[in-house]
């Protein structure tokens, strides 16, 4: 038993396992609640609450109407998905004794995180979803806007990777001659116990939701925590799935995400057909492409998307405080620009909600999705086989790496 626990909490899980489980869970969550695993919608509402706190009247902002501002974050299922993810990830970090306040030595990182976070938040909401609702849980809903979003995110992350590699953005590492001592290791391990206490309290909260007849909140709290556990244990990073393909030709995360989306699509199709549910379809418009591109650019600059930010913050990485703040600023700016600056009329109004199930029927929809995912998988494998990192120092034409 001890050996199993040790394996579960001191080793990271295979990303394929973590992502496929997340894909299955998100299909089940949709079957139970009729909503999908998503985070940035709730971030937008948090931005709205902050505006309200400072006395702003947001009752006539069209975007806040669109995302339904009712109640507080703690009385909404989408809210508990977000808080559950934070708590689930934190419990895992503590169980594995891996919490540490990690402060970036190069102060430019904090500015980069804030700027990237703003761009990513703005882009995600312009496209009506981040890497979850417009990607990982958007494809299995057969919403065509997610296809556009994936291509645009690919392009945005490519530009982001180019910028991240430039000398002025990348900064300089601390490279010194000779040996250097690592930090002293603490002999007493208190973190797992703190994690245990938090886990018990959170279980109590979930029971409280069910006992007081709020099963939807209880369900969201459970699934949120499970998603948090999976993204932390699998170190699931949608940013790296794209970025590493461009930077070093690493395809592991991208392939795991593609396979998991295929599994999730098949299960979601069964849920939709058997229970006669309406898939969640978002509008496909120029805003989807522009938003996806900005999102892709922003997540590479910020070193994380809105999902990865959550468990990294729980690991104690201070950088992600600025990314989180940036995300909230970005989504709120988009909510303002939506009607006040005419973004909706310029980029969204001309669009159309296209769902593959209504367009091609269930069989056509799943076939089209699987073909699209297969093409993405093959492109990933090709890139992984043919591309290697070349830094500033390597001269043109010099082939140093022979595989």
Partner 1 sequence: MSVDFTLDLRGESCPYPVIYTLEALEGMTKGELLQVITDCPASFRNVPEEVLKHGYQFAKEPVKNGQEYLFYIVA
Point out which residues bind partner 1 (CB under 8 A): 12, 97-100, 102-106, 109, 161, 164-165, 170-171, 173-180, 182-183, 185-186, 235, 237, 239-240, 243-244, 247-250, 252, 300, 303-304, 312, 315, 317, 319-320, 388-389, 391-394, 400-403
- Name the strand (E) or helix (H) holding 359: helix 356-386
Q: Judged by CB, which is closer to partner 1: 153, or 288?
A: 153
Q: Judged by CB, which is closer to partner 1: 234, or 279?
A: 234
DSSP category for residue 215: H
Smallest separation, CB 341 to partner 1 (Å)? 33
Hunting for tokens 């702003």 — which residue is that? 56
Strands 283-284 and 352-353: antiparallel
Smallest separation, CB 155 to partner 1 (Å)? 18
Smallest separation, CB 383 to partner 1 (Å)? 13
Phi, psi of 320 (to 5 degrees): -80, -10
Q: Judged by CB, which is closer to partner 1: 2, or 395?
A: 395
Smallest CA-to-CA distance from 118 within 329, 297, 341 is with 329
Smallest separation, CB 401 to partner 1 (Å)? 5
Smallest separation, CB 247 to partner 1 (Å)? 6
Q: What's the CA gap between 67 and 295, in Å, rounded?
A: 19
Smallest separation, CB 119 to partner 1 (Å)? 17
Q: Judged by CB, which is closer to partner 1: 99, or 377?
A: 99
Burial class (CB in 10 A: 0-12, 13-18, 19+), 337: middle
Smallest CA-to-CA distance from 85 within 356, 261, 332, 308 is with 308
Q: Judged by CB, which is closer to partner 1: 252, or 370?
A: 252
- Name the strand (E) or helix (H) holding 352: strand 352-353
What number of other Cβ atoms are within 10 A of residue 252's Cβ?
15
Q: Judged by CB, which is closer to partner 1: 69, or 253?
A: 253
Q: Judged by CB, which is closer to partner 1: 45, or 312?
A: 312
Hunting for tokens 């990192």 — which residue is that? 389
Q: Let me know: does 260 contact 268? Beta carbons within 8 Å.
A: no
Q: What's the CA gap between 96 and 121, in Å, rounded?
A: 30
Smallest separation, CB 7 to partner 1 (Å)? 14
Burial class (CB in 10 A: 0-12, 13-18, 19+), 197: exposed
CA-atom Rg of the chain in angstroms: 21
Smallest separation, CB 60 to partner 1 (Å)? 39
The pair of structure tokens assigned to 287 is 């805003």
Burial class (CB in 10 A: 0-12, 13-18, 19+), 84: buried
Q: Judged by CB, which is closer to partner 1: 45, or 243?
A: 243
């Amino acid at each position: 038993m001890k050996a199993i626990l040790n394996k579960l909490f001191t080793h990271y899980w295979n990303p394929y396992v973590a992502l496929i489980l997340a894909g299955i869970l998100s299909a089940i969550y949709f079957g139970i609640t009729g909503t999908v695993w998503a985070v940035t919608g709730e971030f937008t509402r948090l931005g709205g609450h902050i505006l309200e706190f400072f006395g702003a009247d947001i009752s006539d902002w069209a975007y806040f109407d669109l995302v339904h501002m009712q109640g507080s974050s703690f009385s909404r299922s989408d809210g508990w998905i977000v808080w559950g993810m934070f708590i689930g990830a934190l419990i895992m970090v503590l169980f594995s004794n891996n919490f540490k306040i990690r402060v970036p030595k190069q102060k430019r990182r904090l500015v980069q995180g804030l700027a990237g976070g703003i761009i990513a938040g703005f882009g995600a909401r312009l496209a009506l979803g981040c890497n979850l609702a417009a990607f990982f849980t958007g494809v299995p809903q057969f919403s065509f806007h997610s296809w556009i979003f994936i291509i645009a995110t690919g392009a945005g992350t490519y530009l982001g990777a180019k910028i991240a590699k430039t000398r002025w953005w990348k900064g300089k590492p601390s490279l010194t001659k000779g040996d250097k001592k690592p930090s002293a290791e603490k002999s007493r391990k208190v973190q797992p116990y703190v994690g245990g206490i938090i886990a018990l309290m959170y279980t109590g909260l979930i029971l409280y939701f069910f006992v007081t007849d709020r099963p939807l909140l209880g369900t969201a709290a459970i699934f949120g925590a499970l998603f948090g556990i999976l993204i932390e244990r699998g170190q699931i990073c949608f940013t790296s799935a794209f970025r590493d393909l461009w930077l070093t030709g690493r395809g592991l995360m991208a392939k795991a995400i593609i396979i998991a989306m295929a599994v999730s699509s098949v299960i979601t199709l069964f849920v939709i057909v058997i229970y006669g549910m309406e898939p969640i379809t978002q509008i496909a418009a120029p805003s989807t492409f522009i938003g996806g591109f900005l999102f892709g650019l922003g997540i590479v600059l910020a070193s994380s998307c809105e999902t990865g930010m959550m468990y990294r913050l729980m690991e104690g990485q201070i950088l992600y405080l600025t990314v989180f703040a940036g995300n909230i600023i970005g989504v709120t700016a988009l909510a303002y620009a939506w009607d006040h600056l005419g973004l909706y009329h310029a980029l969204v109004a001309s669009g159309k909600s296209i769902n593959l199930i209504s367009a091609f029927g269930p069989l056509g929809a799943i076939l089209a999705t699987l073909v699209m995912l297969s093409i993405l998988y093959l492109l990933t494998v090709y890139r992984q086989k043919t591309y290697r990192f070349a830094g500033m120092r390597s001269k043109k034409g010099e082939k140093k790496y022979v595989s």
